[in-house]
Structure 1
Amino acid sequence: MKIAGRTFIVSGGASGLGRACVESICQKGGNAAVLDLNDDLGAELVQKMGPSVKFWNTDVLSTESIRAAVGGTMEWAGETGKPVGGVIPAAGVSSPATMLDRHKNPLSLEGYDFVMNVNVRGTIDLVRQCLVHMSQVDPVEDGERGVVIMVASSAAFDGQKGQVSYSASKGAVTAMTLPMARDLARYGIRVCTIAPSLFDSGMTSLMSDKVRKSLQGAMEFPLRAGQPPEFASLAVQCIENVMLNGTVLRLDGAMRMPSKM
C-alpha cells in the first residue's frame, strides 16, 4: 500500500516510537491522526508537521474516548480525501514488579490490570473501532484496504525479572497477530506486529546509567539502543510491503535480554 494519499491512526503518537512513525508517514505524503494524552507534545508535533497531522487527546482505557478520536479522524479523512489506510496502536506502559516483593507481598493485581488494560485492551479496542471504517474503504491493488501494525516487545519472548505483567501484555499482542490476520484476510486488511528490544524512548529514558550499561552486555550488533526512526522504517515497510502479514518481526539486533540487570 502506498502511504501517500492515506490517513493513518497512531496512538501514543506524540512521543517515542509512535511519534517517529507519524513523522515518517507524513514525510511520505500521508496524514497522521495522533491519539495521545500529552496535549503539549501533541501541539508541538502539529506545529512541526503542519496540516498533515491532527491531534486528539485520547485515553486508550476509555472506549468512548477512542470512539470520539476515531470518529473525528474519519471526518477529517473525508474532508481531506485521504481515506484511512492503517492503525498503529503504539500507546504502552510498563510497571515493573516481581511476583513476591522483598517483604513477600504478592504482585499487585491493580498494577497488573493497569498494564494489561493499556497494552492489550487499549490495543484491541482501538484496532476494532478502526476496522469498522477501514473495511469499508475502496480496495487498491490486490484488493488491499489497510494494515494493522501492533507493537510488542522482546519481553514477549525473554522477559526479565519483574516483567511478568509487561511480558504477559506483549505476549498477548504477539499471540493475537496471526488469528487477527486470518480474521481480516477476507477484507484485504493485513496485520503485523513489531517487537523491539531496547530503543530510546520516553519509557527507557527513565533507566539509570547503571541499568543501561548492564544491558549493553546483552547486545550483539550494533552495541547501542535502537533509534525511533529505525522502528519507523520497519513500520513503513509493513505498510508498503503487501507480503508482510500475520507475522511478528523482532527488531533487536540479535539482543536477548538477560534474566536480570
Structure 2
Amino acid sequence: MSLFGGVRRGVFTVPGDGCIDFKPLFKILEDNDYEGWFIVEAEQDPAKANPYLVQAGKIGEPQIIKVTSRDPEAPPISYVKVSGGIFLDMTIHDFDMVRYLSGSDVKEVYTNAAVLIDSAIGDAGDVDTAIITLKFKNGAIGVIDNSRKAAYGYDQRVEVFGSKGSVTVSNDTDSSAVLSTEDGVFSEKPKYFFLERYKDSFVEELREFFDAVKNDTDTPVSGMDGLKPVLIGLAAKKSYLENRPVKAEDIEL
C-alpha cells in the first residue's frame, strides 16, 4: 500500500509534542470527516548533526561515532516503571541516529550501566547511567554515553570520525554570546530539553510527511527504520542483564 493510500484508509502521524499548534491540524481532520488514527510521535532529527557531510563522503568512511546524550532531570519514578527502561525510552533515539550517521546497521552491542543518580530508579528495575559500545556491519565502532541527569542541562553532542576527517556537533544554546572577564569565560547553558533543542526538526518532519502524502512518494524513513532501534535497545538491555556482548540479529520481538 502506498503512503497516500494508507493515509486515506486511516493513518495520520504528526511529530512533536508541545512545539506545534495542533488546533489547525485537528480542524483539517474534522473538516474532512477524518475517522482514522491521529498519532503524535517525538523523534530526534539528526539534521542537527549535518549527516549529509557523512553521506556525501566528505569525511571518508566512518570509523568512530561518539554520542553524548544526557537529560537535564531524571524522569518521575512512575514513568520509569512503565517506560521500558533507559535503553528503550532514551537511548533508542541515539540508536536511531547512529544508524543514520554510520550508514550501517548495528552488528553487536555491549552495555555497562549503573545506578548513580537516584536509588529509586534502581528499585524500579532500571539504571540511570550507561555506556554502550557498538560494532557496525560496515566495520565502524561507536560509543554512546547516557545520563538521566546533567546538572548543567540537556547535553546533546555527536562526533563522526572518518578516514578523511571528522564532523562534530555541539550543544545548542539560547545565545551565542560569550562573556570574558578577569573572573573567567562564561557562556549560556544548553537549551533545556528536547522540545527546545529539536523544535525545528519536528517542523521539518511534519513538512516532509505532508509532502510525501501530497505527492504520493516514499518518506525518508520506513517502518523498519523505526523497528531496528527497538531491537538494538532490547539487545542493549540484554547485554546489561547478562554482562556480555549481544548480537542485534539475535533479538526477536
Q: Shared topology, TM-score over 0.5?
A: no
Higher strand proportion? 2
Decide which structure has the larger Cα Rg and report it. Answer: 2
Q: Could you say which structure has the higher helix fraction? A: 1
Larger relative CO (CA 8 A, sep 6+): 1 or 2? 2
TM-score using structure 2 length: 0.29
TM-score calculated relative to the size of structure 1: 0.28
